[in-house]
Amino acid sequence: MNAKKIAIIVVVIVLLGAIVGFTVNQSQKNVVTVQTGKVMKQDIASQVTASGEIKPKTIVNVGANAMGRITHLFVKEGDKVKKNQVLAQLENVQSAADVELNRASLVSSQRDAVAAQAALNLAEAQAKSSAADLERTKLDYDRYQGLLKDQLVAKADFDTKKGAYEVAQAAHAQDVARIAQSQAQLDSANGRITQARAALTRVDDILSKTTYTAPFDGTVTNLPVHEGETVVMGIQNSPGSTLMTVADMGIITAEVQVDETDIVNVKLGQSAEVTIDAIPNQTFKGMVTEIGDNAIIRSTGVSTSQSTTGNQEAKDFKVVVTLTEPPANLRPGLSATAKITTGQEHDAVAIPIQALTMRDKNDLQAEKDKKAGKAVSKTAPVTPTKKENNDIQGVFVVKNNKAEFREVVTGLTGSTEIQVKSGLEPGDEIITGSYKVLKTLRNGSGVKVDNSVVNKTES
């Protein structure tokens, strides 16, 4: 009897164990293993990363303005130069001789003008003297005319006074003509002076183009020529020879190309961090000082304003970041990367970017209705004429071991975190992985938290 009872008890225990195991097994069929994290407040910054090269703010290629042989190079690559310091000298024997010739011609013309002015002054003095003689002889002539009428003088005396008056008239007319002649000679001499000065200016300009000076204080960063070489000036479709490049290394910039999708967030005055490939493990502070207006076609480097054909290729915009404290060993052309901070928030509610996911609004509503026991229509929906975007972004929050989808409004995007403006509170436990789980997880599904993989990776 006791053995029978014991057997019955054992059977009952086995059945109960089987029932419990079956129930647990069934309950765990829909349980998904997830990794989670806590919503917390932290500082977050959004950044735009772009690559480019180091360039001085001011850089000038000193090109040839005349054809000739280089006789002297007074600097070498890397030298510091001051404004107006002589950098190079071309052969200038002929141009210097032309200057001396035209300077002598100018002096000669000036002396001719002095002589012409003296002749004019003499003619004017003689004209004044002849005018006085004319006035005197005219008075005598007029007086003798009256005396002759009164028969108080002889006809011979009257004729003498008349002849003297006519001689004085002729002499004065001759002196007046001599004034006009002297004035013309003076004007001609002044004209020759103007011509000589213009010719001297021209040859002096030619001579000045054989001497090259520094346009500003800077550094010679490139010197592609040598003494004895012949350089030529540029013509319409052919560039001239470049003697050297002078750069103002006091103000250094990083000129980078920002993707067209990011340029709308870049503003003047934003801070940036610049890294230079040639100087590893160092970061240099900078500020955005220039933003290009024209897009640059990435494959060709040509501005869209210069392109004659439209295309849909990827485009960039030039952004100039000025370094606040550039190192002394920088060289133009070094590769650089700039991280421009386009936004920053302190104590912002933030979550890992990978926790964000998208769900269809209609699917969420259907799951909600099903849970509430409402009938779900099996009729296929009528295809709309225009497909609407019903996707909403959100995260899954763990509540009572279940995944609850919650819509969120996001803000700044950092490197690994994103700001949440509404929908979550600090301390909420959200599902952060895995990616495969987040992609297929359904609202209301049972979840099992297992952060051992995350902890193992972090350790």
Whether residue 39 is found in the same domain as residue 121: no
Asked if the structure places residue 2 within a domain, the reply is: no
- Same domain for 147 and 173? yes
Q: How far apart are CA 124 and CA 26, in angstroms?
A: 134
159-204 pLDDT, tens digit each: 888 888 889 889 899 989 999 999 999 999 999 999 999 999 999 9
User: Is residue 284 assigned to a domain?
Assistant: yes
Q: What is the CATH number of the domain that holds 394?
A: 2.40.420.20
pLDDT (0 to 100) of residue 301: 77
Residue 380: the pLDDT is 47
- Same domain as 330, residue 431: no
CATH, residue 148:
1.10.287.470
β-strand pairing of 335-352 with 417-422: antiparallel
**Cβ neighbours, 10 Å, residue 21:** 10
364 vs 384: CA distance, rounded Å:
19
The residues of the chain scoring below 70 in pLDDT are: 1-5, 7, 10-12, 14-30, 306-311, 368-389, 453-459
Domain with residue 69: its CATH number is: 2.40.50.100
CATH number at residue 253: 2.40.30.170
Of 231, 265, 288, which residue is a domain's last? Answer: 231
- Asked if residue 446 and residue 371 are part of one domain, the reply reads yes
Q: Is residue 236 part of a domain?
A: no
Whether residues 164 and 302 share a domain: the answer is: no
- Domain co-membership, 256 together with 222: no
Do 254 and 301 sit in the same domain of this protein?
Answer: yes
| Position 314 in a domain | yes
Looking at the domain assignment, is residue 301 inside a domain? Answer: yes
Domain count, the chain: 4
Same structural domain for residues 65 and 110?
no
User: Of 344, 365, 398, which one is at a domain's C-terminal end?
Assistant: 344
- The answer on 195 and 168 residing in a single domain is yes
Together in a domain, 77 and 98 = no
In a domain, 121, yes or no: yes
Query: Which of 157, 177, 208 is the C-terminal boundary of a domain?
Result: 208
In a domain, residue 382? The reply is: no
Residues 215 and 85 grouped into a single domain: yes
* Cα-to-chain-centroid distance, residue 61: 18
User: What pLDDT is attached to residue 374?
Assistant: 60
Please state whether the predicted TM-score (pTM) of the whole model is above 0.85: no
Quote the domain boundaries for residue 110: 94-208
What pLDDT does residue 290 have? 94
Residue 217, in any domain of the structure? yes
Measured CA distances, 252 to 54, 56, 273, 276, 323 (Å): 7, 5, 14, 13, 6
Are 328 and 256 part of one and the same domain?
Answer: yes
Note the pLDDT of residue 372: 63
Identity of the residue numbered 439: K
User: Would you state the pLDDT for residue 373?
Assistant: 63
